[in-house]
A and B are shown apart, each in its own frame.
Chain A
Amino acid sequence: MNVKEYIASGILELYVAGVLSEKENEEVYANMIMHEEILNEVLKIEEAVLKLTSGVAPASYESTLKIIKEKIGLTPDNDLISLPESKINWFNYVGWAASVILSAGLIYVMISNNDLKEHIETVETEKEFLEQQIELAQDDLKEAENLLAIMRDKDIIAVPLAGQAAFQDTYAKVYWDKATNAIYLDAQGLPEPPEGKVYQLWSLTLNPLTPTSLGVIANFESDDNKIFTIENPNASEAFGITLEPEGGSPTPTMEQLYTLGVVSSSP
């Protein structure tokens, strides 16, 4: 047989590929034994195919052979048999550790969340408080603007009440709106009345001198701006303030006349 032609036919490549029939395989085998050239050719073809197929292999694992040997019962020593168990334990521990960490994390998040909620509540309360303050301030402002408007009103008569005798240092002012029969008493210049006493405001006509009580200032201490609105239907010629026992007196106690002021004749 012509060895060169035999090799060139391509049958040896198919032999290595494993696609020949059983009979063809036996023939090639016989020829390989008889002709070293054919054997060498087969070895070279095999080497080329080995290199090519190895080239597309993904990374190998060192553990693969060990596992295979275990599967075919080649590892009677206990070390290797216990290996998968210890692996399982390891995963177990990791699993437990992970769950502990997860739980701790969840608790931490819950605590943080509660803290935040509390903080939000505190802030809400503070906010409400501040809103109230603002509301109050706005009320105060409105009141002040109101007062200012009243004092500036051209129809209002301002009557300064000067300190009398022993009470020189005291003063007050009356703003009298004749249109509405209302007076606004500014009692800023009066000291706080002693326990059991109250200030009483009097409307006076001078000829003859006749006092008419306009009432007591019961809430002097608690009032912030010391401005009191009082009804006055009288044709007053002067106003006076005396200190009287609680509940007021029918006639003024002249020794306790703090301030007095005369209404100027024309508004």
Chain B
Amino acid sequence: MSLETLVLQFQKKDESAFEALYHMYQESIRGVIFNIVRDEAIAEELMQDVFVKAWQKSDSYSAAKGRFFTWLLNIARNASIDKTRSKDFKKGKQNLKVDFFVDILQNKTDLNRQTDAIGLKAFVEKLADKCKKIIELLYFKGFTQKEASETLEIPIGTIKTRNRNCINELRQMLDI
């Protein structure tokens, strides 16, 4: 079954389509959430919120607006960032550092899951620092090009090409 059909079924509230999509993206979404909140319990809570929301708002998705994965990614990033702005989160995490996804990979000990995290870790370590930063901002944090250019202090026109080069580097490493 193609992704398009699966998404259509999902929008018709089909349980097995929902399950299939969940399994396709859950790990990635959990990774994005965790990278923002840095707390497994909160990440689990947000995982539930994100997929519940996706189910409830499935009508709002259309292929013309973007990839289904990207749509989920946006819900996850927004929910996570909202969470980090909430009072109770700030209370518990006052000293949350601005960490990059790279740190998680470097500190990871349970690398035995479906994703070849060991290989990934090695590859990501080889990525140039500027790549790590731009990937962090655009994919994990959902920064706009403007926000990213301001944060990285590079011209907005450079963002697009630099990001292209960095993703290419990653693809080469991952053999994609």
Contact = CB atoms under 8 A, between A and B. Distances in A.
Interface in B34-64: 34-35, 40, 43-44, 47-48, 51-52, 55-56, 63-64
A72 B55 contact: yes
Nearest to A71: B52
B89 interface: no
B31 A10 contact: no
Nearest to A21: B144
Contact of A61 (B44, B115, B116): B44
B66 A18 contact: yes
Given A16-B67, A57-B31, A74 B15 contact: yes
Contact of B31 (A11, A48, A55): A55
Interface in B142-176: 142-145, 160-165, 167, 170-171, 174, 176
Query: Which one of A9, A10, A45, A65 has the greatest number of beta carbons of chain B within 10 Å?
Result: A10
Contacts of B114: 54
Given A10-B163, A46-B67, A48-B170, A53 B140 contact: yes
A56 B31 contact: yes
Contacts of B30: 57-58, 60
A52 B120 contact: yes
A54 B31 contact: yes
B117 interface: yes
A8 interface: yes
A69 to B, nearest CB: 7
B147 to A, nearest CB: 9
Contact of B28 (A19, A53, A67): A53
Interface residues of A, number: 43
Nearest to A67: B48
B34 to A, nearest CB: 5
Contacts of B129: none
Given A44-B171, A57-B30, A13 B164 contact: yes
A64 B26 contact: yes
B139 A55 contact: no
Contacts, number: 161
Interface string A71-97: 110100000000000000000000000
A52 B48 contact: no
B85 interface: no
Given A46-B69, A52-B170, A68-B48, A14 B115 contact: no
Contacts of B18: 69, 74
Contacts of B9: none
B164 A10 contact: yes
Interface in A1-54: 8-11, 13-20, 22, 25-26, 29, 42, 44-54
A59 interface: yes
Given A14-B145, A18-B70, A19-B142, A56 B163 contact: no
Contact of A54 (B27, B64, B143): B27
Query: Which one of A8, A25, A58 has the greatest number of beta carbons of chain B within 10 Å?
Result: A58
A48 to B, nearest CB: 5
A55 B22 contact: no
Nearest to A45: B167
Contacts of A61: 44
Interface string B81-100: 00000000000000000000
Interface of A: 8-11, 13-20, 22, 25-26, 29, 42, 44-61, 64-65, 67-69, 71-72, 74
6 contacts: A10-B160, A14-B138, A17-B142, A44-B171, A45-B167, A49-B28
Interface of B: 15, 18-19, 22, 25-32, 34-35, 40, 43-44, 47-48, 51-52, 55-56, 63-67, 69-71, 73-74, 101, 104-105, 108, 110, 113-117, 120-121, 124, 135, 138-140, 142-145, 160-165, 167, 170-171, 174, 176
Given A10-B163, A49-B28, A68-B47, 7 more contacts: A10-B162, A17-B73, A17-B138, A49-B139, A60-B27, A65-B51, A68-B52
